[in-house]
């Protein structure tokens, strides 16, 4: 098992904030909008540097999505900022008609995704957003795993022409990917080569997958670990190549098991390489209040859940 270390833990939303500032410096057409959550989205640095390129919308997310779509007409590259719940479910029709169907170059920056939002509870913890966004034709769906990767993903999103949903989170998590990485949309990252089981993880579950890989190694199980930071378009080749070798797969995500990464992987495998698969995901449920660690434990999204799923799926081969 390849060794992964980190010197500090940071929140992915801060990676977005730093990436946004850098994207803004690289291209004067990059603009930002926020629905009254500047601090939460870490947009302060961008606003300080480019006050004339920032639009405070107020608590009006539908209007924000429309204004963002309008700003693209004139060549702007808008990043909208609010929580993932209010970036998707609250404004689904606006995103669908004014952004996706109209193919506007809007980047939907969605923070506080999933259970790790924590104490605010289920009203704010979206577990459906990946599914909602990946169903929209032409929408790119990205869920990076740590600070460095979120920063790189933000810059890549600005450089990509077309609508992007960029999902990240609230808590500090290990920052283990390289600071100087280039982010290629739609390209999986192979974290560890193995032969017994493929673990495909996204977002905060990638670090859990690495820890699971270390535990499995102690049990004599050689896990291949893939970081899928882009759920759509999905890197089918990377998945198929791995599964041809291992013959079974575990998917891991901070999302409802219905409609997330696991379903995307299952669809590929069902058509091209039917394979035993286990899901590490929320089992069709809403979340609740608690600390992020308590919630990940209660809803079964930890490294030990991945270990158990790996052992189970290997037994099904």
Partner 1 sequence: MSADINKLEQIASQVRRDIVRMVHACKSGHPGGSLGCTDYFVALYFHMMKHDPSFNMDGKGEDLFFLSNGHISPVFYSTLARAGYFPVSELTTFRKIDSRLQGHPTTHEGLPGIRIASGSLGQGLSIAIGAAQAKKLNNDDRLVYVLMGDGELQEGQIWEAALYAPHNKVDNLIAAVDYNGAQIDGPTNSVLSLGNLKAKWEAFGWEVVEVTNGNDMSTVIAGLEEAKSRTGNGRPVVILLHTEMGNGVDFMMGTHKWHGVAPNDEQLASALNQLTETLGDY
Phi, psi (degrees; rounded to nearest 5) at 124: -105, -10
The answer to whether 90 contacts partner 1 (rule: CB under 8 A) is no
The answer to whether 49 contacts partner 1 (rule: CB under 8 A) is no
Which of 94-102, 111-119, 199-207, 227-235 is the region at the interface with partner 1 (rule: CB under 8 A)? 94-102
The answer to whether 23 contacts partner 1 (rule: CB under 8 A) is no
17 half-sphere exposure, CB direction, 13 A CA radius: 21
The answer to whether 51 contacts partner 1 (rule: CB under 8 A) is no
Measured from the CB atom, the residue of 63 and 211 that comes closer to partner 1 is: 63
Measured from the CB atom, the residue of 94 and 116 that comes closer to partner 1 is: 94
Alpha-carbon distances, residue 290 vs 23, 119, 166, 287 (angstroms):
35, 5, 25, 9
Peptide bond into 233 cis (omega under 30): yes
The answer to whether 296 contacts partner 1 (rule: CB under 8 A) is no
The only residue of 14, 82, 98, 242 in contact with partner 1, by rule CB under 8 A: 98
DSSP string, 178-212: -TTPPP-TT--EEEE--SSEEEEE-TTHHHHHHHH
The answer to whether 62 contacts partner 1 (rule: CB under 8 A) is yes
Burial class, 51, CB count within 10 angstroms (exposed 0-12 / middle 13-18 / buried 19+): exposed
Measured from the CB atom, the residue of 164 and 210 that comes closer to partner 1 is: 164
Q: Is 62 helix (H, G, I), strand (E, B) or coil?
A: helix
The answer to whether 32 contacts partner 1 (rule: CB under 8 A) is no
Measured from the CB atom, the residue of 98 and 126 that comes closer to partner 1 is: 98
The answer to whether 31 contacts partner 1 (rule: CB under 8 A) is yes
Q: What does the block give as tokens for 153? A: 């993903």
Question: Which stretch of DSSP H or E encloses residue 158?
Answer: helix 147-159
Q: Please, what is the minimum distance in Å from the beta carbon of residue 106 to partner 1?
A: 10
Measured from the CB atom, the residue of 77 and 282 that comes closer to partner 1 is: 77
The only residue of 74, 178, 182, 315 in contact with partner 1, by rule CB under 8 A: 74
Q: Please, what is the minimum distance in Å from the beta carbon of residue 36 to partner 1?
A: 12
Q: Please, what is the minimum distance in Å from the beta carbon of residue 66 to partner 1?
A: 2
Q: Please, what is the minimum distance in Å from the beta carbon of residue 266 to partner 1?
A: 29
- For the four alpha carbons of 216, 217, 221 and 223, in that order, the dihedral sign comes to positive
- Residue 81: CB partners within 8 Å, gap ≥ 6? 32, 33, 34, 35, 37, 38, 41, 43, 109, 111
The only residue of 9, 76, 90, 266 in contact with partner 1, by rule CB under 8 A: 76
The only residue of 9, 27, 63, 211 in contact with partner 1, by rule CB under 8 A: 63
The answer to whether 291 contacts partner 1 (rule: CB under 8 A) is no
The only residue of 4, 36, 103, 290 in contact with partner 1, by rule CB under 8 A: 103
Contact 207, 238 (CB under 8 A): no
Burial class, 90, CB count within 10 angstroms (exposed 0-12 / middle 13-18 / buried 19+): middle
Token pair 């609230």: residue: 170
Q: Please, what is the minimum distance in Å from the beta carbon of residue 54 to partner 1?
A: 11
- Spatial CA neighbour of 46 closest among 64, 28, 20: 20
The answer to whether 80 contacts partner 1 (rule: CB under 8 A) is no
Binding site for partner 1 (CB under 8 A): 31, 52-53, 55, 57-58, 60, 62-76, 78, 93-94, 96-98, 101-104
């Amino acid at each position: 098992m390849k060794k992964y270390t980190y010197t500090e833990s940071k929140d992915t939303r801060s990676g977005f904030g730093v990436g946004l500032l850098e994207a803004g410096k690289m291209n004067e057409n990059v603009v930002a909008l926020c629905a009254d959550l500047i601090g939460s989205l870490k947009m302060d640095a961008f606003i300080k540097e480019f006050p004339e390129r920032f639009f405070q919308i107020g608590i009006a997310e539908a209007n924000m999505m429309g204004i963002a779509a309008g700003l693209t007409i004139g060549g702007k590259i808008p990043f909208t900022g609010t929580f993932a719940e209010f970036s998707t479910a609250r404004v689904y029709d606006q995103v669908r008609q004014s952004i996706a169907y109209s193919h506007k170059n809007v980047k939907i920056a969605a923070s506080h995704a999933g259970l790790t939002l924590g104490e605010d509870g289920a009203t704010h913890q979206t577990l459906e957003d990946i599914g909602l966004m990946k169903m929209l034709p032409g929408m790119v769906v990205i869920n990076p795993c740590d600070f460095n990767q979120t920063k790189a993903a933000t810059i890549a999103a600005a450089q990509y022409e077309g609508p992007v949903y960029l999902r990240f989170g609230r808590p500090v998590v290990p920052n283990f990917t390289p600071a100087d990485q280039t982010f290629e949309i739609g390209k999986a990252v192979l974290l560890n080569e193995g032969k017994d089981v493929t673990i495909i993880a996204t977002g905060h579950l990638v670090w859990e997958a690495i820890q699971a890989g270390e535990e499995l190694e102690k049990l004599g199980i050689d896990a291949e670990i893939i970081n899928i930071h882009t759920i759509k378009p999905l890197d089918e080749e990377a998945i198929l190549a791995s599964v041809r070798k291992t013959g079974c797969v575990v998917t891991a995500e901070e999302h409802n098991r219905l409609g997330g990464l696991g379903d995307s992987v299952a669809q590929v495998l069902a058509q091209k390489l039917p394979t035993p698969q286990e899901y590490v995901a929320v089992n069709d449920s809403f979340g609740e209040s608690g600390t992020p660690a308590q919630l990940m434990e209660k809803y079964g999204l930890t490294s030990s859940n991945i270990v158990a799923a790996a052992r189970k799926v290997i037994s099904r081969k």
